[in-house]
Amino acid sequence: MRRLRLFSWAIDVVRGLGLMARQHPMTFWGTTGALVLLLYVLPVEAPLRRLVGNVVVGLLVIGGVALYTAGLAFLKDRADQTAPKPETKTQSNTELERNARHIVLREIGGPGQKRLKEARVLVIGAGGLGSPALQYLAAAGVGTIGVIDDDVVENSNLARQVIHTDARIGMPKVFSAEEAMTAQNPFVTIRPYHRRLTAEIARGLFADYDLVLDGCDDADTRYLVNETAVALKLPLISGAISPWEGQVSLFDPSRGGPCYACVFPEKSAAGLAPSCAEGGVLGPLPGVIGAMMAVEAVKHLTGAGETLLGRMLIYDALYGEQRHIKVSRRAQCPTCG
């Protein structure tokens, strides 16, 4: 009699299983448990036992699949919550297309372009050398570019400082450069510092960057930049120009190369190295040397090719010649010796 009542109750459960299973997962597992109990109490020879057994097996399979699916959904949800939000498809595709010529280069490729995007480069000066260097760094996709300069755009700058325009005469050079670089590549971050580089702020400023490019035209600032870069073990790419000639090198004592003071231990005598205003300068020459500085920066950051560490490139625009000279550390150098 007791078994008959259990059987009747189980039939009612099976009839309502579809509805109950849709209402709550606990109902599904409760029903499965009841059928397992029924399977236990039915006699071995009972015809209904096989039917109930098949139903129980089917329910267990369905339940296992449901648990597996729910587990995957839970893990995916957790991963989506903890993973950084990706850039929008439009941004990613635009950046990929923009940098495609770099990415197909064997020496740079995708990993190298990624290093450029993660790099932080500080440029000293937004004048003749800084202008092309800044433009090409931004175009190359260097992720964060700082530029420090206390000067404003003047009409006499425009023949060679190609990052500035006539409409921006009177604007601080760093903000003019920021405007141009943002227009060139909105995917890079520009940090303009409209101030003079001094010993009080140099270390704190340089500490935020991986690489420094010096394109200033002031001797005192050059030695300050070198001292700060050596103290913080930062590589320094330095460029300089005269009326018809330019030079560029990578200084990095932490990697076995010399520092700027190893090669130029003393400032030039007064009048020996006149400024652009005093001695004049070929308009495209800063573009050539500034672009070379940007090339060295990209090579250093991506690990491509051989940099100018331990060598200085000298370009003579008047006769169309260039040469390399070897430069070495000085044991007696007061800055890095």
Read off the amino acid at residue 337: G
Q: CB of 177 within 8 A of CB of 193?
A: no
Of residues 277 and 88, the one with the higher pLDDT is: 277
Helix (H) or strand (E) holding 321: strand 321-326
At residue 19 the predicted structure's pLDDT band, cuts being 50, 70 and 90, is very low
Q: What per-residue confidence (pLDDT) applies to 81?
A: 59
User: How large is the average pLDDT for residues 100-111?
Assistant: 93
> What SS3 class is residue 92?
helix
Q: What per-residue confidence (pLDDT) applies to 48?
A: 58
Q: Is 81 left (phi over 0), alpha (psi -120 to 50) or beta?
A: alpha
How many CA atoms does the CB half-sphere of 118 hold within 13 Å?
8
User: How large is the average pLDDT for residues 228-240?
Assistant: 97
Q: What digits encode the pLDDT tens for the residues 40-88?
A: 565 656 665 565 555 555 555 566 656 666 666 776 676 655 555 544 4
Of residues 95 and 299, the one with the higher pLDDT is: 299
Does position 249 have pLDDT exceeding 70, yes or no? yes
Q: Which CATH superfamily is domain 93-326 in?
A: NAD(P)-binding Rossmann-like Domain (3.40.50.720)
At residue 280 the predicted structure's pLDDT band, cuts being 50, 70 and 90, is confident
Helix (H) or strand (E) holding 314: strand 311-316
Q: CB of 124 within 8 A of CB of 215?
A: yes
Give CA–CA dist 158/162, Å, rounded: 6
Q: What per-residue confidence (pLDDT) applies to 268?
A: 74
**Tokens (6 digits) for 146:** 């700082």
Q: CB of 33 within 8 A of CB of 13?
A: no
For the chain, what is the mean pLDDT? 84
Does position 21 have pLDDT exceeding 60, yes or no? no
